[in-house]
Amino acid sequence: MRDFPSCFGENGVQVADSSSSTSKAAQNLVTCVYQGRLRGRSCLITITWSKNLMGQGLSVVIDDSTNHCLCKVDIKPWLFSKRKGCKSLEAESSRIDIYWDLSSAKFGSGPEPLEGFYVAVVVDREMVLLLGDLSKEAYKKTNAAPVLSNAIFIAKREHICGKRFYGTRAQFCDNGQIHDVTIECDTGGLSEPSLLIRIGSKTVMQVKRLMWKFRGNQTILVDGLPVEVFWDVHNWLFGTAIGNAVFMFQTCLSAEKLWASFTHTTTDPTILPLSCSQIFKDSQRQGLGFSLILYAWKNE
């Protein structure tokens, strides 16, 4: 088994400092990346959902094929008292409109809405990205024409919490089945810690002697597709009480390409809090499939 890539070293995945307030803030963020078409060229649309005491927040960032930011729109939590609206701007001779309606949205424990909403990105009156289950309402509001190919969901970064069990839901291929993903790890018992990962009710991976194998990678099969799983639980075993573990699920054509996308991105571990997003964006440009990065925080 290979060592976990250096970009996920002891300090490489810290997204929060030692304060508990910052840790809690990090746990209320979900970032999703979609690949779409903008004026016939590939673009990346990053949607970040946030949640704090003031309510729900939303950020939309559009990058072109050269990783140049074309626009960024922040919808602050206190503006959600309106619950719906539109922001417009000009970028490189194009008109970009961001529409949202969360007036009937239903939320779970996280910041991402489950149903009763839409978020639409319209460029020059064409629907580039449409999220949510209110598509009829979105097209009526925007008067936008649908594009020939819909944006593809290619990456997700999420913070999850638990004491022994950590769960989320994931769709490992576009229009594929949505699976329950469960990570089980007990580091506080008398027995030697071990790691279990389940997809649905099926155990797809088990790591014993975790004190020695606190970083590593293994290939599993989901829906017949090979999925490379990387884990780093160093902070759970040897770090601070509020330290987080990191798990990455990557559908890929070549594990060697994936390895290269990590090790060649940067050699400076101190800049990784900013570069982890870039890592899975770059991996998508190399045709490496869907990425899911989970930051797992222990509730003590």
Tokens representing 188?
């506080």
Residue 200 shares a structural domain with residue 112: no
Please tell me the predicted confidence (pLDDT) of residue 28: 82
Q: How many CA atoms lie within 13 A of 156 on its CB side?
A: 20
> Which of 153, 176, 191 is the last residue in one of the domains?
153
Residue 48 shares a structural domain with residue 69: yes
Separation CA 119–CA 140 (nearest Å): 13
Look at residue 1 and tell me if it is in a domain: no
Host domain of residue 289: 6-25+157-298
Widest CA span of the chain, in angstroms? Answer: 63
Tokens representing 222?
């989901």
> Which of 124, 153, 182 is the last residue in one of the domains?
153
Residue 76 shares a structural domain with residue 217: no
Please tell me the predicted confidence (pLDDT) of residue 276: 42
Residue 214 shares a structural domain with residue 87: no
Q: Are 96 and 125 within 8 A, CB to CB? A: no
Residue 147 shares a structural domain with residue 165: no
Residue 16 shares a structural domain with residue 48: no
Per-residue pLDDT tens digits for 146-166: 876 678 888 899 998 888 898
Angstrom distances, CA of residue 179 to CA of 27, 85, 168, 170, 219: 21, 32, 8, 5, 17
Residue 125 shares a structural domain with residue 99: yes
> Which of 96, 123, 153 is the last residue in one of the domains?
153
Say which CATH number the domain at 270 has: 2.40.128.180
Count of structural domains, the chain: 2
Residue 161 shares a structural domain with residue 292: yes
Please tell me the predicted confidence (pLDDT) of residue 25: 55
Which regions in the chain score pLDDT beneath 50? 1-19, 22, 254-277, 279, 284
Q: Are 161 and 27 within 8 A, CB to CB? A: yes
Please tell me the predicted confidence (pLDDT) of residue 222: 87
Please tell me the predicted confidence (pLDDT) of residue 248: 92
Residue with tokens 């309106």: 82
Residue 117 shares a structural domain with residue 67: yes
Q: Structure pTM?
A: 0.77
Beta strands in 137-243 (DSSP E): 145-146, 152-162, 165-171, 178-185, 195-199, 202-207, 215-222, 225-232
